[in-house]
Structure 1
Amino acid sequence: MSDLLGVAVLGAGHMGADHIRRIDQSISGARIVAAADPDAGRVEAAAAGIRGASLHTDPLAALDVPGVEAVLIASPGPSHEEALLAAFERGLPVLCEKPMTPDTAGALRVMAAEAKVGRRLVQVGFMRRYDAEYLRLKALLDAGRLGRVLMLHCTHRNVSSPAGFTSAMMIDSSVSHEIDASRWLLGQEITAVSVLRPQPSSGAPEGLLDPQLVLFETSGGAVVDVEIFVNCGFGYQVRCEAVGETGSARIGDARTMVVETEGSTREEIPQDYLVRFVDAYDREVQAWVDAARKGIVTGPSAWDGYATAAVAQAGVRAQRDGARVAVHLEERPALYC
């Protein structure tokens, strides 16, 4: 492996373009060798100014560029499985943005293919595990400072939803972050999902069931509630409170800039996840690069991608049918134990 890890980035949309910038400007130990997006103009704009980067509209062509030693997948979810399997065939480590795959069938195929290789190649992009506040909360819970955790209260709000965003995507795209964060914080699997749907907000696009309250039951007897509100209109907010037998702890209230002027005080609210979690994304990608240069893969695994897909799939059914839905997980393969 060269002094700088040669990375191919697949996808040059909002997330992919930010990762291209991050690798080129913000982290150490890596360089952009290739980038791909079906929209030639978009990938050219995202990689503008990066000398020597090979640009493609075919993602698989980018994997075969000389000097590519690792792959970052930031394309839409339905394209992830093909890219992952192609990376496995080439023995390339991968950082794959969530969802790893849109459904459990695809996730099982990815795990089977990785098992054939015989070693982990995938880190799934659940970046909240790299956020400073989440890391502090995880350390507090692991140390038993709150006793046994009984409940997690989570809030996930966006200013507005993008065009074409569906009610199902509120679970399998947005709440997928809370699914993984809950599993990670508690060290437990989610065993059942229920979804409550209040009257939609007047700010929600027609047909979108927004907001929703999602309830998880876990293997350790905890309960998690998630308020998902993707058209709140005022800002991007992510909060989590853990309630234990001997105390509670809350994250997500960290202060941003406070402006005091003309007899009033105004606190800024982030308008975008790339602003709120910029440090987490930097830590996540840096950790992936550092591990890949050592020939290893760390962080959330393909099993975590599969478990999140299984919970999300149950959540979409619960949302549709208005009933509690049990989560079925296959036996965890030895590779992920």
Structure 2
Amino acid sequence: MGELLGVAVLGAGHMGADHIRRLDRVVSGARVAAVADPDEARAREAVAGVEGVVVHAEAEAALDAPGVEAVLIASPGPAHEEALLAAFARGLPVLCEKPMAPESAGALRVVEAEARLGRRLAQVGFMRRYDAEYRRLKAVLDDGGLGRPLMLHCVHRNVSSPPGFTSAMLIDSSVSHEIDAARWLLGQELTAVTVLRPRPSAGAPQGLWDPQFALFETDGGVLVDVEVFVNCGFGYQVRCEAVCESGSVRVGDDRGPLVTAGGSAATPVPQDYLARFAEAYDREVQAWVDATRRGRITGPTAWDGYAASAVAEAGVCALETGARVTVDLAPRPALYG
């Protein structure tokens, strides 16, 4: 590879534009070589001031652009499978934002395609694994000093949902992060899910079941509950508490600067995920670039992406039917053993 890893970024929306900025200004050892987005005007706006980058409307044109040695996929979820398979066909390492594929069948096709290659090329963008607080939580659990984990209590709140956000997306878009975090923190698979619905908030758009309460079971006997509330109105909050046999450990409490004035004390609450997890995204992309330059792929695997899609799919079924739904995973290929 060259002195700087040439990266093609697919998608120039909110997430893609942030990754373009990150690769150009924050991450070392990489450069943006190409960008693809059906809205070429949006893509050109995202690369304004970035030297040596070419813009395409089609993803495959960006993959074939001169100097492209790796791919960062930040396009909408339905486009991910095709982009991943195109990258595999070219032998290009990929960092793919979640979901790896919206449906488990598509995610499994990606897993099977990579397994046929006999080597890993894909890393899935579950950035919480790179968050400093979540890494400390993981270290405490792995140490074992608190005994075995019994329960995880999780909170996932957004200021407001974007236009077109559906009740199912509370599970397969928002809670998918908790699904992966729980699998990673516990080292266990999620085997069943139940979703309960309190009355919708007055702040939720008409017809949106918000908030929701998801309860997951693991193959190790741990219960994981998630409150997801995407129109809470006051800020972006993500919390996780592990309750163990002899103690508990919690992350995500708001600990920004405490401002005291006018007879009150207040701490600011982040307003979106890019603010809350900015350092995690930086650390994730830097780790991917460093590993790729060494000819390695680390971080969440395509199997992790498939498992998250399968669990989320079961969660959406549980939401729609009101029933407890079991998760049926395909056999894990040896590549991910």
Distance 2:48 2:256 in 1: 31
Q: Percent identity?
A: 73
Q: Identify the residue that residue 78 of structure 1 maps to in structure 2.
A: 78
Query: Aligned-pair distance for 1:112?
Result: 1.3
Q: Residue 17 of structure 1: SS of its match in structure 2?
A: helix
Distance 2:240 2:293 in 1: 34
Q: Does 1:170 align with 2:170?
A: yes
- Residue 12 of structure 2 aligns with an amino acid whose one-letter code is A
Q: Residue 178 of structure 1: SS of its match in structure 2?
A: helix
Query: Aligned-pair distance for 1:333?
Result: 0.4
Q: Residue 168 of structure 2: SS of its match in structure 1?
A: helix
Q: Identify the residue that residue 298 of structure 2 maps to in structure 1.
A: 298
Distance 1:68 1:87 in 2: 11
Q: Identify the residue that residue 180 of structure 2 maps to in structure 1.
A: 180
1:293-318: CA deviations, max 9, x gaps? 01110000000000001100000000
Distance 1:145 1:67 in 2: 49
Q: Residue 175 of structure 1: SS of its match in structure 2?
A: helix
- Residue 197 of structure 1 aligns with an amino acid whose one-letter code is R
Distance 2:131 2:106 in 1: 28
Conservation of the 8 A alpha-carbon contact between 2:123 and 2:297:
yes
- Residue 322 of structure 1 aligns with an amino acid whose one-letter code is G
Q: Identify the residue that residue 333 of structure 1 maps to in structure 2.
A: 333
Distance 2:243 2:264 in 1: 34
1:159-193: CA deviations, max 9, x gaps? 00000000000100000000000000000000000
Which runs of 4 or more aligned residues in structure 1 lie more than 4 Å from their structure 2 counterparts after TM superposition? none
Q: Residue 88 of structure 2: SS of its match in structure 1?
A: helix
Q: Identify the residue that residue 321 of structure 1 maps to in structure 2.
A: 321
Q: Identify the residue that residue 119 of structure 1 maps to in structure 2.
A: 119
Q: Does 1:49 align with 2:49?
A: yes
Q: Residue 238 of structure 1: SS of its match in structure 2?
A: strand
Q: Identify the residue that residue 196 of structure 1 maps to in structure 2.
A: 196
Conservation of the 8 A alpha-carbon contact between 2:196 and 2:212:
yes
Query: Where do residues 216-295 of structure 1 align in structure 2 (5 Å cutoff)?
Result: 216-295=216-295
Q: Residue 204 of structure 2: SS of its match in structure 1?
A: coil
Structure 2: gaps of 5 or more residues: none
Q: Does 1:18 align with 2:15?
A: no
Between stretches 35-44 and 232-241, larger displacement belongs to 35-44
Query: Aligned-pair distance for 1:257?
Result: 2.3
1:14-56: CA deviations, max 9, x gaps? 0000000000001100000001111111101110001110011
1:104-148: CA deviations, max 9, x gaps? 110111111111211000000000000000000001000102101
Distance 1:244 1:114 in 2: 37
Q: Identify the residue that residue 154 of structure 1 maps to in structure 2.
A: 154
Q: Identify the residue that residue 109 of structure 2 maps to in structure 1.
A: 109
Conservation of the 8 A alpha-carbon contact between 2:211 and 2:228:
yes
Distance 2:5 2:121 in 1: 15
Distance 2:274 2:227 in 1: 20
TM-score, reference length from structure 1: 0.99
Distance 2:118 2:254 in 1: 42
Q: Identify the residue that residue 64 of structure 1 maps to in structure 2.
A: 64
- Residue 101 of structure 1 aligns with an amino acid whose one-letter code is A
Q: Identify the residue that residue 205 of structure 1 maps to in structure 2.
A: 205
Task: Report the aligned-residue RMSD.
Answer: 0.6
Query: Aligned-pair distance for 1:150?
Result: 0.2
Distance 2:143 2:134 in 1: 14
Q: Identify the residue that residue 142 of structure 1 maps to in structure 2.
A: 142
Conservation of the 8 A alpha-carbon contact between 2:194 and 2:323:
yes
Q: Residue 284 of structure 2: SS of its match in structure 1?
A: helix
Query: Aligned-pair distance for 1:254?
Result: 4.2
1:207-250: CA deviations, max 9, x gaps? 00000000000000000000000000000000000000010000
Q: Does 1:98 align with 2:98?
A: yes
Distance 2:117 2:215 in 1: 37
Q: Residue 228 of structure 1: SS of its match in structure 2?
A: strand
Q: Identify the residue that residue 32 of structure 2 maps to in structure 1.
A: 32
